[in-house]
Amino acid sequence: MTDPREQVARYLRGREVLAEPEYFLTGERNRLLETMRTGQGGGSASSAGTGGAGQLARSGSRDDILAIEDMETLNNVAGACTRCSLHETRTKVVFADGTAAARVLCVGEAPGANEDRTGVPFVGRAGQLLDRLLRSVGFPRSEVFICNVLKCRPPGNRNPLPEEIERCSPFMLRQVELVSPAVIIALGTFAAQTLIGTKDSLRHLRGRTHLYEGFPLVVTYHPAALLRNPGWTRPSWLDLQLARRIADGDHAPRAVRSRDEAGARGAGETSEPTAQALDQLSFGGRDV
């Protein structure tokens, strides 16, 4: 697990990104401070070394998963995971795509049929559109780490169940910790609500900077939804511009608190996409 000092420091940096003048350390953060005070914890051994990846994949606890020290071991444990019933119906575990040195980490909901077949997240037309959007704000795919909340496909693309999220989320959390991105982009309602811990609609969550475990997080539409609704392309582009500014260290989140305010910043602040450029980002409104 990440050193408690680093976790608390990350939390405080996140509050700074949010331009929050006061710090409230409750729950998990209080426990971290207590750990720091007593000198216990922070030195967890690699569970893969003590218990073996196979044992972790079958019955590892949340703390066991969070104690895994490198991405390769985490990938191996997820690849053999039977910690929830989705292992019975999956074709392939869809761990992630991208480098652990990425500055941007995108999180979607769960693998679809193509991902389940290939083992790679965000393939197909939705993935291509995501690539184009990210490139349009200066994030080539090579600088982006992409994963899902769930690593295995729910049958028939049904919504993930709470117990599946509970069992699988330590993998995503550890991925975030190991990548330590400058900014997280939550793609779609489910990923946003899960990471932020809210039932608020995407409309209320977009255009603001949130925190996930101390990392700045912005919310945008899922690229598959953009394929069905090309009119959402420009708002998505503005969301990614917000992510760009955060990654660049522009700590001015209050200036882009709402979607309307974000839209009003265009002239002189950012280079607005032309209608032709936005057309090229979309796929003409064809269904996924």
Contact 206, 234 (CB under 8 A): no
Binding ligand SF4 (rule: CB under 6 A), the pick from 29, 58, 87, 132 is 87
Within 10 angstroms of residue 230's Cβ, the number of other Cβ atoms is 17
- Whole-number minimum distance, CB 66 to ligand SF4, in Å? 14
If the CB atoms of residues 17 and 68 are measured against ligand SF4, the closer one turns out to be 68
A 10 A CB-CB count for 278 gives: 17
Contacts 24+ apart (CB under 8 A), 157-164: 157/110, 157/112, 157/113, 159/190, 160/109, 160/110, 160/190, 163/84, 164/84, 164/85, 164/86
Backbone Cα Rg of the chain:
19
In the complex, what is the shortest distance from the CB of residue 81 to ligand SF4, in angstroms, rounded to a whole number?
Answer: 3
Nearest distance from residue 175's CB to ligand SF4, in Å?
12
Nearer to ligand SF4, 84 or 105 (CB): 84
Q: To the nearest whole angstrom, how small is the minimum distance from the Cβ of residue 165 to ligand SF4?
A: 9
Q: Is 84 in the site for ligand SF4 (CB under 6 A)?
A: yes
CB nearer to ligand SF4: give 151 or 234. 151
Site string for ligand SF4, 90-129 (x = CB under 6 A): ---x------------------------------------
- Which residue's CB is nearer to ligand SF4, number 60 or number 223? 60
In the bound state with ligand SF4, the residue whose beta carbon lies nearer, of 29 and 62, is 62
Size of the residue set binding ligand SF4 (CB under 6 A): 14
78 vs 218 by CB, closer to ligand SF4: 78
Q: Which of 151, 174, 234, 245 binds ligand SF4 (CB under 6 A)?
A: 151
> Which listed residue (105, 133, 168, 172) binds ligand SF4 by CB under 6 A?
168
Question: 44 to 83, contacts with ligand SF4 by CB under 6 A?
Answer: 78, 81-83
User: Minimum distance between the CB of residue 162 and ligand SF4, rounded to whole angstroms?
Assistant: 13
Q: Which is nearer to ligand SF4, 127 or 170 (CB)?
A: 170
In the stretch 131-150, what mask flags binding to ligand SF4 with x, by CB under 6 A?
Answer: -------------------x
* Binding interface with ligand SF4 (CB under 6 A): 78, 81-84, 86-87, 93, 150-152, 164, 167-168
